[in-house]
Structure 1
Amino acid sequence: MGEVDSAFIQNPENRPKLSIIQAKGIPVINLSPIIHHTAQDSSAIESLVKEIASACKEWGFFQVTNHGVPLNLRLRLEEATKVFFAQSLEEKKLIIDDNGFPGYHDTEHTKNVRDWKEVFDFLSKDPTLVPLNSDENDDGVTQWTNPSPQYPPHFKVIIEEYIEEMENLGFKLLELIALSLGVEAKRFEEFYIKNQTSFLRLNHYPPCPYPHLALGVGPHKDSGVLTILAQDEVGGLEVKRKTDQQWILVKPTPDAYIINVGDIIQIWSNDAYESVEHRAKVNTEKERFSIPFFFNPGYDTEVKPLEELINEQNPSKYRPYKWGKFLVHRKDSNFKKQDVENLQIYHFKLP
């Protein structure tokens, strides 16, 4: 078997147990009332909003069915993803951006431990404007630009079609979440009008002979607004259950998407909803593919609790921060081991 590279070895408290607890509790929510309705059924929408509220409070995660994303498009993207990752490393490295993002890379770190995976990132908006660096006193702006993979054929076109579907679903979900918080349905759209920083990620987890030491992705919370995940039948996503802090394996549901609220929704909701820790296990025998879409706001968004939710009984729990600066700081630190802790939202928590 040989020695495992020490860069992949998780700290003892984060190493996966080989016994499996499967989640029955992660809610599966049928989106038919907002996707396939011919006329608005207010009672069905109201029921849906309550389901969303419960899932966000109790889990921070839920699955959605009847979501409106064409199955044949998802299957085309999944097939193209497999063909792309089957290329040689030399061929894949031809589409690495100078910044390491977007494009192909295989050296991502989570909490300073290297992930057992390779990825391909593709921006929702091309080019995407971002701050030149994470220095609060520097207002310079640069841009990230998508690579143009030549193989497999039509890869870029399929990705762009899929991203459009992800954005449509993302806005529908944000409306439901807004209503569940008691604010106007379109409340979050203002944060997406300009310079949106969303991106699609294609993940490939090769078989790993060290399932007791390594993880596909180490324990983390997502820093953006929403993540919309398609995982294959192999599975591997684990969620830390809030009630008892146990790691729960999320069993794949055919044609469903797994949704989790990110750090920004935790702040917008002033901690009514929590961004929950999760990770990806490795598999000793099978390779695994997953496709998350990170639905993120404009780079110049000031992240802070919604004014409508703040009052004397519920004062603001966070000081504001600029999303673009936060994002650039995180990206700069993702591809190499750091001497200091990565930036987290609790650094902005008010006493």
Structure 2
Amino acid sequence: MGEVDSAFIQIPENRPKLSIIQAEGIPVINLSPIIDNTIQDSSAIESLVKEIASACKEWGFFQVTNHGVPLNLRLRIEEASKVFFAQSLEEKRKLTIDDIGFPGYQDTEHTKNVRDWKEVFDFLSKDPTLIPLNSDEHDDRVTRWTNPSPQYPPHFKVIIEEYIKEMEKVGFKLLELIALSLGVEAKRFEEFFIKNQTSFLRLNHYPPCPYPHLALGVGPHKDSGVLTILAQDEVGGLQVKRKTDQQWILVKPTPDAYIINVGDIIQIWSNDAYESVEHRAMVNTEKGRFSIPFFFNPGHDTEVKPLEELINEQNPSKYRPYKWGKFLIHRKDSNFKKQDVENLQIYHYKLP
């Protein structure tokens, strides 16, 4: 995209208009009690855990401030992202790795995705990343995904790698708080990330759109992993479906904050105590929008199921187990192919 025109995006003529509610929006949580090592106030930690519990239960989304990510690093990756997407389409497509375009560069024409008005660049947290060869539950073979090596802008790969390290730090801190909020040991979730982690960073660019009331930057969806840590620019555009009334709520950009959303795996680990909620991204006619989500995902061989500590006779398991890597491959395959059946969702693993 960049200079790609609207011919790449086929807008359904009968797409309904989008209604949005302007509201205060999702909770904003100050993480300084766990980021600043000089703070030893246990009551501050306890209060923070309660805030996290409330946000996860009532919204499935929240913003965090005082998160410890250096502002200079965030500014560097945001600027590098803009420079990267400003290149010609020919140059960007040199970083499209294979038939599904992951990791690396993707645009709408390449993926044949007529739903979303954007272009992306994906970069793996671990290089290489081990992943199942296919979604067949009886096939144990694995393959390797490897990162591209962008030559422009200068030091782009180094900046991305530094930024990913900071995202992982934030991710693990948040998982500690979520674990405590569920009443389990703080490091409970770390075991799922020690080996074969499948996390990745995505750089998004949503060009100005001549049909802002008809098109979406990203259609309504839920994130299938553990956590998403999102940096969005001042243009904004993220909307969350409020659980209480199913209305779309605009998430107003908060300077230097990160937007966190609970993924499907947290919903399952918590046995539905917390819920992954629908969200979407908007576009506008005048300004392009840039955002940078980090998708914090466990090892491919992780068996996803409710935590044993949360299961009892009064609260039996609500899901049958599944292997994360197999689920991920199934979703990746169906994201880029026309399907005669619905894409795989976690409710397909819901127990009666």
Q: What range is the shorter-chain TM-score in?
A: over 0.9
SS of 1:63's equivalent?
A: strand
Deviation at 1:348, TM superposition (A): 0.2
Deviation at 1:9, TM superposition (A): 8.2
Q: Percent identity?
A: 93
Deviation at 1:109, TM superposition (A): 11
Indicate how the Cα distance of structure 1 residues 76 and 85 shifts in structure 2: closer, same or farther if over 3 A, else same: same
Task: Give per-residue Cα distances to partners, 1:65-122, cap 9 Å, x unaligned.
Answer: 0000000000000000000000011000444334410000013999975211000000
Which has the larger displacement, 313-322 or 11-20?
11-20
Indicate how the Cα distance of structure 1 residues 98 and 110 shifts in structure 2: closer, same or farther if over 3 A, else same: closer
Deviation at 1:23, TM superposition (A): 3.3
Aligned residues: CA RMSD: 2.9
Alignment of 1:43 with 2:11, yes or no, is no
CA distance in 2 between counterparts of 1:9 and 1:39 reads 51
CA distance in 1 between counterparts of 2:316 and 2:160 reads 42
Which has the larger displacement, 258-267 or 34-43?
34-43
SS of 1:40's equivalent?
A: coil
Which has the larger displacement, 257-266 or 328-337?
328-337
CA distance in 2 between counterparts of 1:133 and 1:150 reads 31
Deviation at 1:246, TM superposition (A): 0.3
Indicate how the Cα distance of structure 1 residues 193 and 228 shifts in structure 2: closer, same or farther if over 3 A, else same: same
Deviation at 1:37, TM superposition (A): 3.3
Task: Give per-residue Cα distances to partners, 1:221-247, cap 9 Å, x unaligned.
Answer: 000000000000000000000000000
- 1:109–1:335: 8 Å Cα contact kept in structure 2? no
Indicate how the Cα distance of structure 1 residues 18 and 152 shifts in structure 2: closer, same or farther if over 3 A, else same: same
Indicate how the Cα distance of structure 1 residues 42 and 329 shifts in structure 2: closer, same or farther if over 3 A, else same: same
- 2:113–2:336: 8 Å Cα contact kept in structure 1? no
Deviation at 1:285, TM superposition (A): 1.0
CA distance in 2 between counterparts of 1:35 and 1:78 reads 23
Deviation at 1:281, TM superposition (A): 0.8
Deviation at 1:209, TM superposition (A): 1.0
CA distance in 2 between counterparts of 1:4 and 1:341 reads 30
Q: How many pairs does the alignment contain? A: 351
CA distance in 1 between counterparts of 2:349 and 2:108 reads 28
- 2:132–2:329: 8 Å Cα contact kept in structure 1? yes
Deviation at 1:336, TM superposition (A): 3.3
- The match for 1:278 is 279
Indicate how the Cα distance of structure 1 residues 99 and 110 shifts in structure 2: closer, same or farther if over 3 A, else same: closer
- 1:102–1:147: 8 Å Cα contact kept in structure 2? yes
CA distance in 1 between counterparts of 2:269 and 2:2 reads 48
Which has the larger displacement, 72-81 or 333-342?
333-342
Residue segments in structure 1 that go unaligned for 5+ positions in a row: none
Residue segments in structure 2 that go unaligned for 5+ positions in a row: none
CA distance in 2 between counterparts of 1:77 and 1:263 reads 28
- 1:95–1:149: 8 Å Cα contact kept in structure 2? no
- 1:60–1:260: 8 Å Cα contact kept in structure 2? yes
- 2:64–2:257: 8 Å Cα contact kept in structure 1? yes
CA distance in 1 between counterparts of 2:14 and 2:251 reads 18
SS of 1:253's equivalent?
A: coil
Indicate how the Cα distance of structure 1 residues 90 and 176 shifts in structure 2: closer, same or farther if over 3 A, else same: same
Task: Give per-residue Cα distances to partners, 1:250-291, cap 9 Å, x unaligned.
Answer: 000000000000000000000000000000011111100000
- 1:117–1:206: 8 Å Cα contact kept in structure 2? yes
